[in-house]
Amino acid sequence: MNTQILEYRKTDHFLLSQWDRKIDDDMLYKILPFIECVECEKDIILIMPSFLIKKRMQKDHKQCLILIIKEKRLITSFWCDHPNYLFKNEKNTHFQILY
């Protein structure tokens, strides 16, 4: 797998999570241009099912895709159907939601 996509570098952990959760590079190419701020210490990007449906890459109608980014490095990715826990557990984190 490629270790860089657009201006983002993929960590080893991200590559493993990408493979394990079936998140291909084509999907990332459609998502990453919409991400605004990645200059923060930690960014959590919530990609909602409505966004995924519009871009024709929906897994199902309940799960959103979560990307964790630190300083232009993709750290991990996962599917989640209840991402609200992230808001209370994460401090000093910038959140972006793609609808």
The answer to whether residue 8 scores a pLDDT higher than 70 is: yes
- What is the Cα–Cα distance from 67 to 1, expressed in whole angstroms? 18
- What pLDDT is stored for residue 7 in this prediction? 92
Report pTM. Answer: 0.90
Phi-psi region of 79 (alpha: psi -120 to 50; beta: other; left: phi over 0): beta
- What pLDDT is stored for residue 91 in this prediction? 73
Arithmetic mean of pLDDT, 72-89: 88
Question: Residue ranges per domain, the chain?
Answer: 4-98
Amino acid identity at 90: E
Strands 8-10 and 64-70: unpaired
**What average pLDDT is seen over the chain?**
89
